[in-house]
Homo-oligomer: A and B are copies of this chain.
Amino acid sequence: MAESAKTKIDKDDVQALQDTIYVIGGKWKLPIIYSICCGNKRFTDIERSIPGITTRMLSRNLKELEDNMLITRKVDPDFTTIIEYEFTEHAKAYGNLILQMIDWGKQHKQLIIKENRLQKQKTPIF
């Protein structure tokens, strides 16, 4: 009984975190979500708004986001070349998180730069 408190954690929570990262993980998911957040709806607009993304990556990631019901893909009934991506209601509950991640990322960058920790990184972020 004198055993030091072995803290257990909720396995469901671990699973939830892994699910979350599975859905929004990878290099492009958050930027794409953010771009749509900002009002971009069409493929080429989203593509142009995100520096460095390729059509292939955009296409794949849009599909995955659609599979995970974060966005919907709508084809214009008259002009089938007009396709618009929009958030689902479910995804909108997520917007706040994104803003926080942006904030956190910026703060983090400042910190890392200030502390001159760049050398220790195998794969520097910046």
B-binding residues in A (CB < 8 A):
5-9, 11-27, 29-31, 34-35, 38-40, 45, 48-51, 67-69, 90, 93-94, 96-98, 100-109, 111-112, 115, 117, 120-122, 125-126
Q: Are B14 and A21 in contact (CB under 8 A)?
A: no
How far is the CB of A6 from the nearest CB of chain B, in Å?
Answer: 6
- The answer to whether A17 and B30 have CB atoms under 8 Å apart is yes
Secondary structure at the A interface, as helix, strand, loop or mixed, is: helix
Q: Of A17, A29, A50, which is in contact with the most chain B CB atoms at under 10 Å from its CB?
A: A17
B90 pairs with A111, CB closer than 8 A: yes
Measured CA separation A121–B69 after assembly (Å): 11
